[in-house]
Amino acid sequence: MEVVAQNRSFDGRQTVYRHGSEACGCDMTFAVYLPPQAESGPVPVLWYLSGLTCTHENAMTKGGFQEHAAMHGLALVFPDTSPRGPEVADDEAYDLGQGAGFYVNAKRDPWKPHYRMYDYITEELRGLVAGLDGIGERHGITGHSMGGHGALTLAMRNPHLYDSLSAFAPIAHPTRSDWGRKQLSAYLGDDEGCWALHDSTLLMEERGWKEDILVDQGASDQFLELLQPEALAEAMTRRRQSGVLRMQHGYDHSYFFVNSFAGDHVAWHAARLA
């Protein structure tokens, strides 16, 4: 892997890497924060999956996670949201194509050759991160918006890979939302039975999660109708799933919202990954 940048942060080390991805068939970039505790031995890891239009950089620079991670001794991983490059298929719309991988393995052209973010996150990048010095064996996952959708679906489908789970304003019911139906049909085809594996509300009803879940949602989020947090809350209730979904008064969908509750989420994961 090529080191693109490295900076000191809260006595830890924030590094950006680039590597050739076999899963996505192009170069991919991701970031890892190692807290100062990693100098003495392996530490638990919290993955953060970003939302539409984001790269690894958005949460790394605007999320405010490093200070809290240094306090609690957690490593952070910030993947990109899609494959990128001139050879990678794209769309004029912001919510499809580059920057909008939706954490699925595409089955339709022109997306199929590169858009394999499910395998990239759960297999290829997982293996690369595990090989870094200071990375421990216990992993948690969180994310925002499209990344919240990714965190919930990847964890419920792979409980052996993750030991804690949370989300910020996730796209909670994509099979019944314009943020979902458009992308799932483009990437996966018209068989809606295949879509269910990428819908956290449906996965909650079918499988649930092995531990408790933390979800924060801004009550003034301008995209509430697309996110449908009430569907996930109802599914958690029907399943009797341990966890809490908090509606945060006055908060919108921006990184001001994420930054405001980043400390809560890092502390929450640290307690469960210890």
Catalytic site positions: 145, 221, 253
* Distance between CA atoms of residues 57 and 60, nearest Å: 5
CB 215 within 8 A of CB 184: no
Give the pairing type, strands 26-34 and 75-78: antiparallel
Q: Is the peptide bond before 86 cis (omega within 30 degrees of 0)?
A: no
Q: Return phi, psi of residue 127, to 5°.
A: -65, -40
**Pairing relation of β-strands 213-218 and 243-248?**
parallel
Give the C-alpha separation, 101 to 124, whole Å.
16
User: Which phi and psi (to 5°) does residue 42 adopt?
Assistant: -65, 145
Q: Compute the C-alpha angle 93/201/156, nearest 5°.
A: 100
| Cβ-based burial of 178 (10 A; exposed 0-12, middle 13-18, buried ≥19) | exposed
CA atoms of 49 and 33, how far apart (whole Å): 14
The Cα–Cα gap between 262 and 257 comes to: 9
Rg (Cα) of the chain, in Å, rounded?
A: 17
Instruction: Calculate the alpha carbon distances from 142 to 85, 212, 215, 266 in Å.
Output: 26, 13, 9, 9
